[in-house]
A and B are shown apart, each in its own frame.
Chain A
């Protein structure tokens, strides 16, 4: 069965620290990959996505993610976090057949000011 694993459930960082959140998926075929973010009190929203092409994708607010096909990974990075990045981050995978998106369990990031 398809699954998505996020390695860290809780991450605490100080402002200006670098961030990397791990995401691995299990599916042998072609996938579309997403990171969604949920800020406190807000709904889930798209942070960035990968469909094809350059495996390094850039999203909003300085976030980027790298797709490494051989490792079935799509890790999220940000060089310098801000207090406003405090949120829950979800990695998600959709097969190119479409319709079903599998979400990881989420990583709660807390950034100390």
Chain B
């Protein structure tokens, strides 16, 4: 009955090697979010999509990109991962951006 699915759950990549994280949802929600969460810190919003409209947070590095090819799927691309990008990446959805969010299990990214 998983509603927000993230793949892979664990990802190891090399410094500078592009990596893509995947998120899918079965809720048919309009809004999809990507958060970065480092140990003992709050989830930090990177960007969100409302339908096909992409909204980047002002402090999200250019190294991070996203794609949403359809309602169900959203991808996070890290073009040149640095050691500081090692974190848990959370995908979430919301029906309208105001109501509660539904989170996936996260992808833990390790950069070697």
- In the complex, whether B89 has a CB less than 8 A from a CB of chain A is no
Out of A49, A96, A100, A105, which one reaches B100, CB within 8 Å?
A49
Q: Is A9 a contact of B50 with CB atoms below 8 Å? A: no
How many Cβ-Cβ contacts under 8 Å join chain A to chain B?
A: 54
Q: B42-82 CB contact bits vs A (8 Å, 1 = yes)?
A: 11110010100001010000000000000000000000000
Q: Is A43 a contact of B105 with CB atoms below 8 Å? A: yes
Interface residues contributed by chain B, number (CB under 8 Å): 26
**Contacting residues, chain A, for B101 (C-beta < 8 A):** 46, 101
Instruction: Determine the residue in chain A with the shortest Cβ distance to B101.
Output: A101
**Contacting residues, chain A, for B96 (C-beta < 8 A):** 98
Out of B97, B100, B104, which one reaches A46, CB within 8 Å?
B100
Q: How far in angstroms is the closest Cβ of chain A from B18?
A: 26
Q: Is B100 a contact of A34 with CB atoms below 8 Å? A: yes
